Homo-oligomer: A and B are copies of this chain.
Amino acid sequence: MRRTRFDDAPCPIARTTDLIGDWWTPIVMREAFTGARRFDEFIERLDVPRATLTQRLERLVDEGLLRKVEYQQRPVRHEYRLTPQGIAFYDVLAAMWRWGSDWRWPDGEEPPLELVDRESGARVEPAVVDERTGERIDVRRLRVRLRR
């Protein structure tokens, strides 16, 4: 009677869901991207239960999105840093950012936060495109096919 798992489904959406379907996980990743590294740093920023944070960080390490790096001995202490897989995950957060900004605020309102280029200050609006054509993805034109 365990919670149904999707981590070995044939569908990439299902496998991703298995990971980010744990409550708090995308938020923890968001904080990692804005510079959180140490356990108590996450705690201060997020009021997440400590036991939950422990579990999430552990899983993210297991799955290869974060790695535990020793930043001092005596006493031995570790911090959590993004791996290449973790960095790549920002795409998913960016898509969530865009959809959330577009649809999750009441009519006429906008989110108080925006994404900008660190250097130029220009507004950045994530969009999901087909890499080959550069066109926005149009789901009506898509089909899922069994790879030969």
Question: How many chain-A residues does the 8 Å CB contact rule pick out?
Answer: 78
- Which of A9-17, A36-44, A54-62, A71-79 participates in binding chain B? A9-17
- How far is A131 from B96 in the complex, measured between Cα atoms in Å? 15
Given A4-B23, A141-B119, CB of A11 within 8 Å of CB of B92: no
Copies of this chain per assembly: 2
Q: With a CB–CB cut-off of 8 A, which chain B residues contact A25?
A: 21
Q: With a CB–CB cut-off of 8 A, which chain B residues contact A70?
A: none
Which residue from B33, B95, B130 sits with its C-beta under 8 Å from A124?
Answer: B130
- Does B142 lie within 8 Å of A118, measured CB to CB? yes
Q: With a CB–CB cut-off of 8 A, which chain B residues contact A24?
A: 4
Closest Cβ of chain B to A7, distance in Å, is: 8
Q: With a CB–CB cut-off of 8 A, which chain B residues contact A7?
A: 104
- Does A113 lie within 8 Å of B10, measured CB to CB? yes
Q: Which residues of A contact B (CB under 8 A)?
A: 3-4, 6-7, 10-17, 19-27, 30, 33-34, 47-48, 64, 85, 87-104, 110-119, 122-132, 134, 137, 139-147
